[in-house]
Amino acid sequence: MINVLVVEDSPVVRELLVHILGSDPDIRIVGTAHDGEEALDAVRRHRPDVITMDMHMPKMDGLEATRRIMETDPVPIVIVSGSQDPRETAATFDAMEAGALAVLCRPTGIGHPDHDVMAQELVRTVKLMSEVKVVRRWPRMRRAAPAARSAEMGLALEPAKVRIVAIGASTGGPPVLQTILAALPKDFPAPVLVVQHMAAGFVRGFIEWLAQSSALPVQLATHGELMLPGHVYVAPDEFQMKVTRGGKIALTRDEPENGLRPSVSCLLRSVAEVYGCDAVAGLLTGMGRDGAEELKLLKDKGAVTFAQDKDSSVVHGMPGEAIKLDAAMLVLPPEKIAAVLANLANHRNKNGA
């Protein structure tokens, strides 16, 4: 049985969440809390396997509660948000930086046409997150200057040109992407394309959150736009993102790959076809194997490829699969990934490439 604590200030919503989760035979609701202070006490009393966390609550909000829980009694936390306003959802990614693993839209009420799908997604996410091993005092991702170049980082300087960077991430990815992008200089010489798996409705808030710490413009990718150096393009909900030979982005309704749309596999395959050895690509923390085989394809074509190391990954599924396939030229923690890319920019600028 998976023991779940539901933290939600609205009695109606709390009852809905308890009903949805409690209806699954593998889940047991061990307690509820209507604010962050109650949540801290309930965690100590009930020792849940997973917590669903509301963001906006009296006394102590979801961000502070998440931070305190991860510092004292670390538990997998799923943020269940009732807002899709980008300014408000950006705060949910602060909670992910503090240690929350996933963010979902609050399921609609019983009888709503979307209820069953959203309820199933909540149950599925809670079950998946119960398998994640979390650690005390979630490491706050550093935003310091990149570390000095090491010998292994020199590998990233071999290609004559780096015309594009493509990164894929899933569970635990947002804080890692924040670390990497925050370390890149504003004159970074290539566009950066990102596929981050997340629940529909949160990508604009995610972009606003990333933009707060990045010197590079971060934007939602649009179909047909010309990619610019030093710009970050994030794949939108429910579209596959590809690149074209004209240096443009293509968004399509192609079928999901690995059950996902957007899919890292789809992006990396198109990057391999169009840019070959003139690309840098990597996989960050996340469940599953999306992008692993395509990262190997890029490496075989001479591109620089990287994977996040196991110790710094929340879930070492995607990068771990890439490592098994010998698809990653470099296996590094987030800070060193950022340093590789920043050193690459310095190399390009010095050589006038």
Contact 213, 227 (CB under 8 A): no
pLDDT band, very low/low/confident/very high, at 243 (cuts 50, 70, 90) = very high
Both 108 and 185 in a single domain? no
Q: Does residue 113 fall inside a structural domain?
A: yes
- Write down which residue in 129, 164, 195 finishes a domain: 129
| pLDDT at res. 83 | 74
- Residue of 127, 130, 134, 216 lying closest to 167 (CA atoms): 216
Q: Using pLDDT thresholds of 50, 70 and 90, give the confidence band for residue 246.
A: very high
Of the two residues 5 and 161, the one the predictor is more confident about is: 5
Please report, for the domain that includes residue 121, its CATH number.
3.40.50.2300
- pLDDT at res. 346: 66
Q: How many domains does the chain have?
A: 2
Q: pTM value?
A: 0.88
Q: Which of 223, 227, 226, 192 is nearest to 210 (CA)?
A: 192
pLDDT bracket for residue 89 (50, 70, 90):
confident
| Calpha distance 227→230 (Å, rounded) | 9
User: Residue 88's pLDDT is what?
Assistant: 74
CB 76 within 8 A of CB 48: no
In this predicted structure, what is the pLDDT of residue 136? 60
Summary mean pLDDT of the chain: 89
Q: What is the pLDDT of residue 347?
A: 61
Position of tokens 């939600």? Answer: 8
Phi first, then psi: give them for residue 207, nearest 5 degrees: -65, -45
pLDDT at position 153 is 43
Burial degree of 300 (CB within 10 A; 0-12, 13-18, 19+):
middle
pLDDT for the residue numbered 283: 98
Q: Looking at the domain assignment, is residue 261 inside a domain? A: yes
Mean pLDDT of 207-218: 95
- 321 and 211 within one domain: yes
Residue 229 lies in a domain: yes
Residue 104 lies in a domain: yes
The catalytic site residues sit at 170, 197, 290
User: How do residues 114-168 score in pLDDT, each as one tens digit?
Assistant: 999 999 999 999 999 998 887 665 445 433 333 333 334 444 444 447 899 999 9
d(CA 283, CA 58): 38
Q: What is the pLDDT of residue 90?
A: 78
* Residue 144 counted as domain residue: no
| pLDDT tens, residue by residue, 274-297 | 999 999 999 999 999 999 999 999
User: Across residues 342-350, what is the average pLDDT?
Assistant: 65
Per-range mean pLDDT, top range of 268-272, 285-289, 309-313: 268-272
Q: What is the pLDDT of residues 31-82, one digit of tens each?
A: 999 999 999 999 999 999 999 999 999 899 999 999 999 999 899 999 998 8
pLDDT in the model for residue 135: 66
Q: Is residue 139 part of a domain?
A: no
Contact 275, 250 (CB under 8 A): no
Strand ranges inside the chain, DSSP E: 2-7, 27-33, 50-53, 77-81, 102-105, 164-169, 192-196, 218-220, 232-234, 240-243, 249-252, 279-283, 304-308, 330-332
Counting residues of the chain whose pLDDT is more than 90, the rounded percentage is: 78
Domain that holds residue 201: 151-350
Q: How far apart are CA 166 and CA 180, in angstroms?
A: 12
In a domain, 136, yes or no: no
Percent of the chain residues past pLDDT 70, beyond the cut: 90
